[in-house]
């Protein structure tokens, strides 16, 4: 399967790593939308949050557990935002589930 984030996880495409464990990889977004903009992904491929199910919930849980660790590594003690875009209407452009962590400044435009 041809997946950009699987290639990044494998190291076939370079990235700026900020955190890694056995299940999770986190790296700087190439086109940041805030002073800090990091993507947190499971090392196993899941298309999107719409594909979360019992069989992959452990991988998803590992990503959730990594989020505060990534935030800490990035120095986001004043808060941050976690976003996952899903599908066409959600604006998802890379079809490997990922959680954006945005922070380092007061964030604009609250949609929810």
Could you confirm whether 96 is annotated as catalytic?
no
Residue 75's alpha-carbon distances to 14, 67, 78, 91, 104, in angstroms, are 23, 12, 8, 27, 8
24 binds, among ligand 5GP, Zn ion, none (CB under 5 to 8 A by kind): none
**Please, how many CA atoms are within 13 Å of residue 14, restricted to the half-sphere of its CB?**
1
- Could you say which of 2, 53, 91, 112 contacts ligand 5GP (CB under 6 A)? 91
Q: Which does 57 bind (CB under 5 to 8 A by kind): Zn ion, ligand 5GP, none?
A: none
In three-state secondary structure terms, 83 is strand
Look at residue 46 and give the partner it binds from ligand 5GP, Zn ion, none, a contact being a CB closer than 5 to 8 Å depending on partner kind. Answer: none
Site residues for Zn ion, 40-79, by CB under 5 A, read: 45
- Decide: is 47 part of the binding site for ligand 5GP (CB under 6 A): no
When binding is defined by CB under 6 A, the residue of 29, 51, 82, 104 that contacts ligand 5GP is 29
Does residue 94 belong to the site contacting Zn ion (CB under 5 A)?
A: no
Closest CA to 13 of 46, 52, 39, 49: 39
Full strand arrangement of the beta sheet holding 99-103: 17-20, 24-28, 36-42, 99-103, 80-83
Q: Which residue is nearest to Zn ion (CB)?
A: 3
């Amino acid at each position: 399967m041809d997946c950009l984030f699987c290639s990044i996880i494998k190291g076939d495409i370079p990235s700026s790593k900020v955190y890694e464990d056995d299940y999770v990889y986190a790296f700087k977004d190439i086109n940041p939308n805030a002073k800090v903009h990091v993507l947190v992904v499971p090392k196993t491929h899941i298309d999107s949050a719409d594909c979360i199910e019992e069989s992959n919930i452990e991988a998803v849980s590992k990503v959730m557990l990594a989020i505060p660790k990534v935030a800490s590594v990035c120095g986001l003690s004043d808060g941050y935002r976690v976003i996952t875009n899903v599908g066409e209407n959600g604006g998802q452009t890379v079809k490997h589930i990922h959680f954006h962590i945005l922070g380092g400044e007061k964030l604009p435009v609250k949609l929810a």
